[in-house]
Amino acid sequence: MNENIRNIAIIAHVDHGKTTLVDQLLKEGGAFRANQHVDERAMDSMDLEREKGITIKAKNTSIHWHDKIINIVDTPGHADFGGEVERALRMVDGVLLVVDAYDGPQAQTRFVLRKALNHGLKVVIVINKIDRENAEPAKMYDKVLELLMELNATEEQFDAPVVYGSGRDGYMMKKLDDKRENMAPLFQTILDHIPPPFARPNQPFHMLVSNIDWSDYVGRIAIGKILGGKISVGDPVFVVRNSTGQKARAKVTKVFEYSGLGTNEASMAVAGNIVGLSGFEDIDIGDTIAVNEEQKALPFTQIDPPTLEMQFCVNDGPLVGQDGRLVTSRQLRERLFRELKTNVSIYVDDTDRAGVFTVKARGAMQVAVLVETMRREGFELLVSRPTVIERRGPNGERLEPYETVWVEVPDECVGAIMQNLANRKGQLTNMEKMAHSTMIEATITTRGLIGMEIDVVNATSGRGVMSHLFKEYGPYAGEVLTRLTGTLLATEAGETTSYALVMVQERGKLFVGPGEQVYEGMIVGENPRNEDIPVNAVREKKLTNFRSQGEGVAAGLTPATKLSLERAIEYIAADEFVEVTPHHLRLRKRILSQTDRRKAERAAKAE
């Protein structure tokens, strides 16, 4: 046991204040200078995390408090990034369970807490945001205890200590009527209740790789908790492959220790600490690093399997290469296989068609984050609609994934959401009235869930909150209608004109504005009826001596609806693609030419 170290992970439902709480712990732990400007949610270092306001990658930091080192892993709260949570729990000995004093335990709270309890980790309950209007901290603490009972926590886990406070305002207290001062009660609770890391300092060095980082200077950095012995710069080691058990020689070139938001180079690291090691050409999450050649691969957490798959294809549209610089099949393949090195919950397969790859993941959000990262790197690609990964039952029957969905909506919108669930073949399991809203719980197929979040936002004018969790594989539910509308398809290539769009918008809702490049087979709008209508969006106004070109045109044009990447991926039908380039998102048919589409339809019917 290394008495001076504590390793903890912070787990919670999305938006319950994990990352803001870490900010306060860093501040009180002296990680920042007195006059240093610190951005909010300092741990969310990726651009995408800042824009979306969520954590995507699990990250490490370290705080020095009263001569003790507290290593903290900040984990994502969104179910799609569950692989990050499962991996982070391998490095720690306890968790801070953060719960909103108004919302109480939610879908993700249940998911991450179950994982932590299965790992046998100690729990400290943090009832956060007690300054919120209508907050009920005492009631929410009871709900957490109910959840612990439901998840079969041991007696020791059930007797978890609780602190109340506000991460944003920077105070924690052991009892609700204590003085609101600082974060010291939480630090003290961590030191008192979370055990020091179990490690064997007298054994030869060995460590399980739980995360991979990359540096332009030293290459791949393996991150993990040292389970035994100590390591120094220059030591020879063996990398034991998790998948094959093969061993490769390597030499440690750098040792990194975490401190505040950065890393410090160290000459040596000891058992129990979470560190980064460099000097490996090829190393993956789940591999073991050891000094003994006899060392076997350490067991690695089983990651939940993916439930969705979609195709990533090379862009073959007429505007290819005008926006991005990375457009070839080789570049796309290299990038996808590079993602596998650091993302354990994604799978990539080659297909029998050139330039087409299958990507399997937990959810549409996870794939959208990958695509968004790639477009910012300069890639152009086509992405298909997600399809669910089906299985065969013991008697050969068709099984598909089911999820539990929770929707919190204003009372007046309950009817619309119930209708939507019925259309998607969802089964209502529970309904609970809250202070200003209603919580609906239902079981629904993963297929039926695709695109539902957008419907909830539309039906509740943005006030509805939805979360979901994988439940089980169940019998195939038959056809599910998720999109009831058709499309408006461009028949001519060129630049759109206001004159043409005013006439096109009479048929439906526009996705493009004037002055945009379109081509044959591109979707320029939505048709309320379930059929595709060909339209000319580039027609120009014939001029006469009496009329000017712009006269009376723009007045009648409604602004175009612009879909986000996630929305576009969930919106498209099976015969459509989203064309993604660094600065444009275009929806299009898989087969662009109308004549070729008709031939393909006839051939399909003939079969």
Cβ-based neighbours of 9, under 8 Å, separated by 6 or more: 58, 72, 73, 74, 75, 85, 88, 89, 91, 92, 94, 95, 96, 116, 121
3-state class (DSSP) for residue 597: helix
Phi and psi torsions of 184, nearest 5° = -55, -40
Q: 17 a known binding residue?
A: yes
Q: 420 a known binding residue?
A: no
Q: What's the CA angle centered on 222, arms 216 and 224, to 5 degrees?
A: 145
Residues forming a β-bridge with 35? none
Give me the sign of the Cα torsion angle 75, 126, 105, 198: positive
- Give the distance, in angstroms, between the CA of residue 603 and the centroid of all CA atoms in the same chain: 40
Q: 20 a known binding residue?
A: yes
Q: 130 a known binding residue?
A: yes
Please give the Cα distance from 353 to 23 (Å, whole number): 48
SS (H, E, C) 87-156: HHCCCCCEEEEEEECCCCCCHHHHHHHHHHHHCCCEEEEEEECCCCCCCCHHHHHHHHHHHHHHCCCCHH
Q: 59 a known binding residue?
A: no
Backbone conformation region of residue 71, classed left if phi is above 0, alpha if psi is from -120 to 50, else beta? beta
Tokens found for residue 2: 């290394």
Q: At what angle do helices 452-459 and 414-423 cross, to 10 degrees?
A: 160
Please give the Cα distance from 57 to 38 (Å, whole number): 20
The gap between the terminal CA atoms of the chain, to the nearest Å, is 68
Q: 16 a known binding residue?
A: yes
Please give the Cα distance from 39 to 351 (Å, whole number): 44
Residue in 462, 443, 445, 446 with CA at minimum distance from that of residue 454: 462
273, 225 contact by CB (below 8 A): yes
Q: Which residues are annotated binding-site positions?
A: 15-20, 128-131
Q: Which residues are annotated binding-site positions for GTP?
A: 15-20, 128-131
